[in-house]
Amino acid sequence: METDCNFGTKLLHGKAVSAYGDRAILPPVHQVSAFRYESMEALERVFAHKNPGYAYTRIGNPTLSSFEGRINELEGGSGAISCSSGMAAISSALLAVCESGDEIIAGSGLYGGTVDLLHDLEKLGIHTVFAEKLDAAAVNTLTTDRTKVVFGEFVSNPSLEVLNISEISEAAHAKGIPLFVDATTVTPYLARPLSLGADVVIHSTSKYINGGGNSIGGVIVDGGKFAWNISVHTALRGYERYGKMALLIRLRTDLWENMGACMAPMNAYLSSIGLDTLAIRMERICSNADRLAHALAGIEGISVNYLTLPDHPCHAKAKTYFDGRGGGILTFRAGTKERAFSVINKLRYALIASNIGDIRTLVIHPASTLYRKLDSKTREAAGVYEDTVRVSVGIEDVEDLIADFRAAIEGAGR
C-alpha cells in the first residue's frame, strides 16, 4: 500500500489498487444488475444504509467502487462517484447544488456539450451567467444572492485557457460559493485541482483516463472541504447533518441514483485498465504535442494555439501549474473553412473523429460539428473559428505526425 510514492507508481500500487478483491491484479468485473442476500433483514439494513453492501448496480457496484476509489485517491478527494458519461457527471453535480431560481457563474470557452447543457438548465429556472474571462474579479462582480456555484474548465477544450484555480476559489469561498472544475483535459497526471483550492473535480473519463477510446464515462470527485450553508444552498436541504459531506451524500443516495446516471461495470473495468497507463501515455502525448506545435508554428499561413508556445497568453500559468507540459490538445487556424477541411482530408495518420484523449491522433473541424448549435460570437469565445482545426495528439512517432501535418498543410495550397 503505497501512499507517498510518485504518480506513476501510485497508479499501479495505490491503496485502491491493493484493495482489488480476491488477490486479483486487475479489478474484478461484477457484470451484474443485482446482489442477493441471505435474509430480508439483511437487505433491509443495506437499503437503510445501516450495513454496507450492494443491492442494485444503479445504486452501487464493487467494480464501480473500485474505479471511484482509484480516481479519488489520485485527486486527493474525500469521495468520488462514477457516472455514465462526462455530461452525466457535470449535470448531476450542478443539479445537486442548484434549484429553480439559482444561478451558476461559468467561464466562457467551455466544452460545447456543457454550454448546451447550461442552456437546457434555463428551462428548469437555473440561470447561467457567462464570464468573458473567469477570474477573481469576474466572480466578485457577477455573484448575486442567487449564485450557488462557479464552474470552469481547468484548461478549456479547445480554447486552451488556463483557470487560475487558487485565485478564483479564494474569491468564490469569500462569497460562500464553491468552485467546480472540469479537469478532463488536465487529468490528475498534470495537476490536482483540489490541492489548488477547487471544491469538486469532474472528469469525462471517456478521454485521457480511459485513453483507448473504448468507453464513455465520467466521474465527480468531492474534496469534502466546502462548508455548506444550507440556508444558502437550499438544494441540499435535508442533508444538513452530513456537514461537509452533504453534496456527496445527496448525489449518492438521491439525485445521481434517481437520475440513473451510473457507469456500466464493464466501462469501469476498461477505464480502470486504461488508467494504469495514464502517466506514460500523458508523458508521450505532451511531448508529441509540444514538438508538433513548435513544428506547425514555423509554417507560414498557420497560426497555432498550444500552451507551451512562448506567445500563448496562458504560457506562464501552464508552466507553473503543469511543470512546463502543455497537455494533448492543440488547435491551428488554416485561413478558411475550405482550407481547414482540405488539410484534415489530406492527413494520413490523424483520424477524423469527434473525441480527444485517445492514443491515436484525432482531428476535427469544431465549428461544423461540436459547436454547430452555437452562434459565431459564442463559438469564438470558445476559441472556435470558421478555420479552426482541433488536434488531439496521440502516441504515434512524432516525426511521422510532423511530416503528415506538414504535407497536408502544404498540399492544401493557399
Ligand X SMILES: *Cc1c(COP(=O)(O)O)cnc(C)c1O
Which residues lie near ligand X (CB under 6 A)?
85-87, 111, 113-114, 153, 157, 182, 184-185, 204, 206-207, 216, 218, 356
CB 3 within 8 A of CB 57: no
Closest to ligand X by CB, 14 or 109: 109
Describe the strand order of the beta sheet including 329-333 as a list of residue ranges: 303-305, 329-333, 388-392, 362-364, 351-352
Closest CA to 60 of 50, 49, 71, 70: 49
Residue that is written with C-alpha cell 478549456 in the block: 156
Q: How far is the CB of 86 from ligand X (least distance, A)?
A: 2
Integer angstrom CA distances of residue 234 from 167, 255, 259: 26, 14, 19
Is the Cβ of residue 107 or residue 218 nearer to ligand X in the bound state? 218
CA dist 91 and 120 (Å) reads 10
Q: From the CB of residue 215, how many other CB atoms can be counted at a distance below 10 Å?
A: 18
Closest CB 388 distance from ligand X, rounded Å: 16
Question: Between residues 168 and 302, which has the closer beta carbon with respect to ligand X?
Answer: 168
| Pick 57 or 114: Cβ nearer ligand X | 114
C-beta closer to ligand X: residue 66 or 184: 184
**Residue 413 Cβ, how far from ligand X at the closest point, in Å?**
32
Q: Which residue has the cell 490541492?
A: 195
In angstroms, give the least distance from the CB of 112 to ligand X: 9
Q: What H or E segment, with its residue span, contains residue 378?
A: helix 376-381
Q: Give the Cα-Cα-Cα angle 37, 57, 84 (nearest 5 degrees).
A: 175
Shortest distance (Å) from residue 96 CB to ligand X: 17
CB of 251: closest distance to ligand X in angstroms?
17
Q: For ligand X, which is the closer residue by CB, 27 or 86? A: 86
Q: How far apart are CA 271 and CA 253, in angstroms?
A: 24
CB atoms within 10 A of CB 110: 26
E-strand stretches of 276-395: 303-305, 329-333, 351-352, 362-364, 388-392
d(C-alpha 159, C-alpha 274), whole Å: 26
> Cell 485517491 sits at which residue?
73
Q: In this structure, what C-alpha cell is assigned to residue 73?
A: 485517491
Toward ligand X, which CB reaches closer, 165 or 356? 356
CB of 12 to ligand X, least distance (A): 25
Let me know the angle formed at the C-alpha of 342 by 340 and 345, rounded to the nearest 5 degrees. 110
CB 184 to ligand X: min, Å? 4
* In the complex, residue closest to ligand X by CB: 86
**Angle CA(102)–CA(104)–CA(106) in degrees, nearest 5?**
170
Minimum CB separation of residue 237 from ligand X in Å reads 28
**In terms of CB distance, is 108 or 206 closer to ligand X?**
206
Taking the complex as a whole, the smallest distance from the CB of residue 354 to ligand X amounts, in Å, to: 9
Please identify, using beta-carbon distances, which residue of 253 and 355 lies nearer to ligand X.
Answer: 355
The C-alpha cell of 348 is what?
494520413
Cα R_g (the chain), whole angstroms: 22
Minimum CB–partner distance for residue 282 and ligand X (Å): 15
Please tell me what DSSP assigns to residue 32.
-
Beta strands in 209-353 (DSSP E): 218-222, 303-305, 329-333, 351-352
Give the residue ranges of DSSP H helices in 27-111: 40-47, 62-75, 86-97
Nearer to ligand X, 233 or 390 (CB): 390
Nearer to ligand X, 206 or 308 (CB): 206
